[in-house]
């Protein structure tokens, strides 16, 4: 089953998390922003109406699935890359999207309701 699906799955991985600048078909890390620690829903390019992280659950599940694929295919580089991306993303989610009472990144008024909505 792995070999039967390898090309398709690895093409999907390259589309989202391609680490190679030499790849002619896909950009490197299409939407993942290494500085902010998460993916932007429209990619890393500027947008007139601002940026947004649409789904942290989709983001973390993709990179975790990428790790599992690295394990199944015995691709240590892919597994290690996914480990780093999951760790960075988990930190970002905890800091910016999971609003805890001691969060230092958001106004105190937001912390009371555990929501960034006004």
Residue 10's closest CA among 55, 75, 64?
75
- Rg of the Cα trace of the chain? 16
Asked whether the beta carbons of 110 and 116 are under 8 A apart, the reply is yes
Tell me the C-alpha distance between 76 and 81, whole Å.
8
Residue 116's closest CA among 96, 87, 94, 91?
96
pLDDT score of 118:
46
| Total-model pTM | 0.83
> How does DSSP assign 13-29, residue by residue?
HHHHHB--TT-SSS-BT
What are the tens digits of pLDDT across the range 59-102?
Answer: 999 999 999 999 999 999 999 999 999 999 999 988 888 778 88
Of 52 and 51, the structure prediction assigns the larger pLDDT to 52
Asked whether the beta carbons of 107 and 115 are under 8 A apart, the reply is no
What are the tens digits of pLDDT across the range 24-50?
Answer: 999 999 889 999 898 887 766 767 766
- The model's confidence at residue 21, banded by pLDDT at 50, 70 and 90, is very high
């Amino acid at each position: 089953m792995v070999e039967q699906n390898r090309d398709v799955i690895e093409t999907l991985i390259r589309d989202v998390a391609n680490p190679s600048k030499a790849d002619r078909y896909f950009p490197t890390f299409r939407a993942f922003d290494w500085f902010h620690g998460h993916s932007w829903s429209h990619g890393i390019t500027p947008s007139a109406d601002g940026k947004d992280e649409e789904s942290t659950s989709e983001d973390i599940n993709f990179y975790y699935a990428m790790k599992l694929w690295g394990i199944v295919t015995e691709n240590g580089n892919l597994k290690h890359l996914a480990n780093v991306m999951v760790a960075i993303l988990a930190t970002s989610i905890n800091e910016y999207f999971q609003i805890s009472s001691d969060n230092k990144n958001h106004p105190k008024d937001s912390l009371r309701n555990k929501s960034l909505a006004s």
